[in-house]
Amino acid sequence: MPDKTGPRIREIRKDRGMTQEELAAKLGVTKGAVNKYETGIVVNLKRDTIEKIAEILDVSPADLMGWTDQSWGTIRKLARRPITSNPHKLRSIALLQAAHLSPEEDKEIATYIEFFLSKR
């Protein structure tokens, strides 16, 4: 089974609107190193490197490595949408981010959110 960490780093980086140069500068490495991470040339990233990339990209190391349920990705994408200044939406997002939910709970909440969005 091929390692999916590199493509996940690229996908999340681009989703954040960040260039390889910007990520490299924050990591303290070269753009070439980031390119090697993303293309899979470097497949055994050190734990501290994974943690630092995850912190910079605002995801958990488990999300970055692809070890978590995809529903959390759905929740995070929804949370990044423009939400105006509605305090109820802001509170809901803050609670979700702080909840440390199990994969089953993540999936259930993502199902509810998708259901409510489909009713708009």
pLDDT score of 57 more than 60? yes
Q: How many structural domains are present in the chain? A: 2
Name the nearest CA neighbour of 35 among 14, 58, 6: 6
Domain identity same for 60 and 74:
no
- Cβ-based neighbour number of residue 13 at 10 Å: 20
* Distance between CA atoms of residues 73 and 8, nearest Å: 11
pLDDT above 80 for 98: no
Domain range enclosing 107: 70-118
Residue 36: CATH number of its domain: 1.10.260.40
The position carrying tokens 């809901």 is: 92
Residue 82 is given by DSSP the state: -
Instruction: Give the tens place of pLDDT for each residue, 21-36.
Output: 999 999 999 999 999 9
Q: Which residue has the higher pLDDT, 52 or 73?
A: 52
